[in-house]
Amino acid sequence: MKWITAIIKPFTLDDVREALAEAGVQGMTVTEVKGFGRQHGHTELYRGAEYVVDFLPKLKIEVAVANDRLDHAIEAISNAARTGKIGDGKIFVSELEQVIRIRTQEVDADAL
Amino acid sequence: MRSRHMLIASTSLAILPFSAAAQTTVAVLDHGDTAWMIVASMLVLMMTIPGAALFYGGMVRAKNLLSVMMQCFAITALVTVLWMLYGYSLAFSTEGMHAGVTNWHSFIGGLDRAMLAGLKPDTLYQTVPESVFVMFQLTFAIITPALIIGAYAERMKFSAMLWFSGLWLTFVYLPVAHMVWSGPGSLLGDLGVLDFAGGTVVHINAGIAGLVACLVIGKRRGWPQTHMPPHNLGYTVIGASLLWLGWFGFNAGSAVAANGSAGMAMLVTQIATAAAAIGWVAVEWAIHRRASVLGIASGAVAGLVAITPAAGTAGPAGALLIGFVAGTVCFFTATRLKHKLGYDDSLDVFGVHAIAGIIGALLTGPFAAPKLGGFGTVTSPLLQLWIQAKGVGFTIVWSAVLSWGILKLLDLTIGLRVDAEQEQMGLDIAEHEERAYNLT
């Protein structure tokens, strides 16, 4: 099993969710986050006082998938979140050791 | 400029060779004037609550929103009580005043009207009930100390703010209002200073006090390195809009009548405000390649301030110029001067109110002349400019010296500032144990 963490532009969320659903992903977690990468920040100016806003608002989505679904999921996120401009985000993939569904105590593949 | 000519009229009749009864000008209540002045009083009150409260509140950080709104509200209540106790009397009593005579009462009114003594439902001021005039002038006395809070916002103790506002009203506002508006025998009135609706009394007075206040109390911790952007410019726009609307009560109401002077005051106020908003944003666009929301709102306020003393005497063209000059100059004083000189006038009370007030007060002189499109009795624009400059200079010195004295006294006794931890927490929690936004 794999744990996918993706940082995306907030307005792409609906497209990403739909694409993941089509790829067979059954659930996801979304968090509002701030950060910077190559896009850096932007400046704001209030009555001559200039502020550099270093951290831009992004969304972090987290998805657990079975190994055979990984490529589909990555492709779904990549296609749906890509605008071609700097700041589209990143996808991180890591090993996932164990999953337990609390209600039924099912584990691993059955719990996904 | 208003005067109490109705009261003077009856005393000069004795020397006239006619039957006094046939000639006496009996003050008669005018329903139209009265209705308008009641509405104007409400409009000016609306400028402070919620106008200034929202205008300033939007510009502070979220943790200090309530403190600013509380300050506006508390000043409204405090000044009302002081006005009733002695404020109206010290500002508008004509006891001991004689045209052309400079004495103690040229500076400050007597206490014969304290507790509003002598005020009855049928007492008149010109053609309106005196009760309405008391109320109208009260709303001016409220907004003036409320304007100053923008300079010391986000760091003054609530208790110190109350003491400062009360003492400042007593020793700065009331004398200046008296010196300009109390009629023959008043210091600046007799000098010939034109101030229709309060350019010197309200805006220069408050703007200079603001500068002195931010210098005495010191910078906010972390300014200017720390980001302190406005937390809700939407509030600021709503506040500026309410100020614009309320200002018709302020300027057109200062005619103390529903007449042609009031109508013209309303129109020139609109023109100057629009010109200033455009002026500010035009300069901003040229320099920063952006037209900002805070810029257009600030420009409008600068225009409203600048046209205030001129509203009764300037023509439409004069108003256009006064507004445009105020908008463009205030862009620089609010965005550059402060950072260059390094004083933390949080919300630019000096950069907008004092500067636009001074521009307006000076230009009121020449643009009152008929040859420059004005409706005043000014024949020499340059001479009137000089008279206006004397009024401006006097107000600056009076406000600066006494404001400094009051602030120093309070700083040495009860202390002006909250401590570092309270300032970090924000005044809403630290001073009032409430927060504006409970978003969970």
pLDDT for A111 = 87
Task: Pick one of 3.40.640.10, 2.60.40.1180, 1.10.1060.10, 1.10.3430.10 as the CATH number of B5-432.
Answer: 1.10.3430.10
Q: Is B337 left (phi over 0), alpha (psi -120 to 50) or beta?
A: alpha
- pLDDT tens profile B372-426: 999 999 999 999 999 999 999 999 999 999 999 999 999 999 999 999 999 999 9
Answer whether residue B122 shows pLDDT above 90.
yes
Mean pLDDT of B4-30: 52
Q: Which two tokens stand for residue B134?
A: 């008391």
pLDDT for B246 = 98
Q: Is B371 on the interface with A (CB under 8 A)?
A: no
pLDDT for B170 = 98
> Residue ranges per domain, chain B?
5-432
pLDDT for A49 = 83
Please give, rounded to a whole number of angstroms, the shortest distance from the CA of B161 to a CA of chain A.
Answer: 25
Question: Cβ–Cβ of A49/B348 closer than 8 Å?
Answer: no
Please give, rounded to a whole number of angstroms, the shortest distance from the CA of A43 to a CA of chain B.
Answer: 11
Please give, rounded to a whole number of angstroms, the shortest distance from the CA of B275 to a CA of chain A.
Answer: 19
pLDDT for B34 = 98
Question: Cβ–Cβ of A48/B298 closer than 8 Å?
Answer: no
What CATH number does the domain containing A21 carry?
A: 3.30.70.120
Q: How confident is the model at residue B25 (pLDDT cuts 50, 70, 90)?
A: low
Question: Cβ–Cβ of B288/A47 closer than 8 Å?
Answer: no
DSSP string covering B342-395: T---TT-IIIIIIHHHHHHHHHHHHHTSGGGT--SS-S-HHHHHHHHHHHHHHH
For chain A, what is the total number of helices (H) and then of strands (E)? 2, 6
Dihedrals phi, psi of A108, to nearest 5 degrees: 50, -125
Separation CA B389–CA B394 (nearest Å):
8
Under a CB-based contact definition with an 8 Å cutoff, are residues A64 and A3 in contact?
yes
Answer whether residue B14 shows pLDDT above 70.
no
**Which residue in A has a C-alpha nearest to residue B297's C-alpha?**
A47
- pLDDT tens profile B282-336: 999 999 999 999 999 999 999 999 999 999 999 999 999 999 999 999 999 999 9
**Which residue in A has a C-alpha nearest to residue B227's C-alpha?**
A51
Separation CA B299–CA B275 (nearest Å):
9
Q: What does DSSP assign to residue B267?
A: H
Mean pLDDT of B141-149: 98
- pLDDT tens profile B169-218: 999 999 999 999 999 999 999 999 999 999 999 999 999 999 999 999 99
Q: Which two tokens stand for residue B422?
A: 């309270």
Element (H, E) at B106: helix B104-107
Q: Across all residues in chain B, what is the average pLDDT?
A: 94
- pLDDT tens profile A35-78: 988 877 788 888 888 888 888 899 999 999 999 999 999 999 99
Number of domains in chain A: 1
On the CB side of B30, CA atoms within 13 Å amount to 13
Question: Cβ–Cβ of A49/B294 closer than 8 Å?
Answer: no
Q: How confident is the model at residue B21 (pLDDT cuts 50, 70, 90)?
A: very low
* B residues 14-43 lying closer than 8 A (beta carbon) to A: none
Question: Cβ–Cβ of B229/A48 closer than 8 Å?
Answer: no
pLDDT for B26 = 74
| Among A47, A50, A54, A55, the residue to mutate for chain B (most B Cβ within 10 A) | A47
| Among B219, B285, B301, B335, the residue to mutate for chain A (most A Cβ within 10 A) | B335
Q: Is B220 on the interface with A (CB under 8 A)?
A: no
Q: How confident is the model at residue B22 (pLDDT cuts 50, 70, 90)?
A: very low
Under a CB-based contact definition with an 8 Å cutoff, are residues A51 and B227 in contact?
yes
Q: How confident is the model at residue B24 (pLDDT cuts 50, 70, 90)?
A: low
Please give, rounded to a whole number of angstroms, the shortest distance from the CA of A1 to a CA of chain B.
Answer: 34
Separation CA B201–CA B308 (nearest Å):
10
> How big, in percent rounded to 5, are the helix, strand and coil portions of chain A?
30, 40, 35
Please give, rounded to a whole number of angstroms, the shortest distance from the CA of B342 to a CA of chain A.
Answer: 12
Answer whether residue B23 shows pLDDT above 60.
no
Give ipTM to 2 decimals: 0.74
Contacting residues of B for A49, CB less than 8 Å apart: 224, 228-229, 335, 339
What residues contact B401, with CB distance under 8 A and at least 6 apart? Answer: none
pLDDT for B7 = 41
Question: Cβ–Cβ of B336/A48 closer than 8 Å?
Answer: yes
Q: Which residue has the higher pLDDT, B344 or A111?
A: B344
Nearest Cα neighbor of B376 from B248, B268, B304, B247 is B268
Centre a 10 Å sphere on the Cβ of residue B243 and count the other Cβ atoms it contains: 24
Question: Cβ–Cβ of A47/B295 closer than 8 Å?
Answer: yes
Contacting residues of A for B153, CB less than 8 Å apart: none
pLDDT for A90 = 95
Question: Cβ–Cβ of B294/A47 closer than 8 Å?
Answer: yes
Separation CA B419–CA B206 (nearest Å):
26
**Which residue in B has a C-alpha nearest to residue A51's C-alpha?**
B227
Mean pLDDT of A15-23: 95
Range of the domain at A61: 2-111
- Chain A residues with CB within 8 Å of chain B CB: 44-49, 51
Q: Is B337 on the interface with A (CB under 8 A)?
A: no
User: Which burial class, exposed, middle or buried, applies to B95 when counting CB atoms under 10 A from its CB (0-12, 13-18, 19+)?
Assistant: exposed
Ranking A43-47, B23-27, B161-165, B270-274 by mean pLDDT, the lowest is B23-27
Question: Cβ–Cβ of B292/A46 closer than 8 Å?
Answer: yes
What residues contact A30, with CB distance under 8 A and at least 6 apart? Answer: A13, A59, A60, A61, A62
Q: Which residue has the higher pLDDT, B14 or B392?
A: B392
Answer whether residue B19 shows pLDDT above 50.
no
Question: Cβ–Cβ of A47/B335 closer than 8 Å?
Answer: yes
Contacting residues of A for B334, CB less than 8 Å apart: 47-48
Separation CA A17–CA B159 (nearest Å):
54
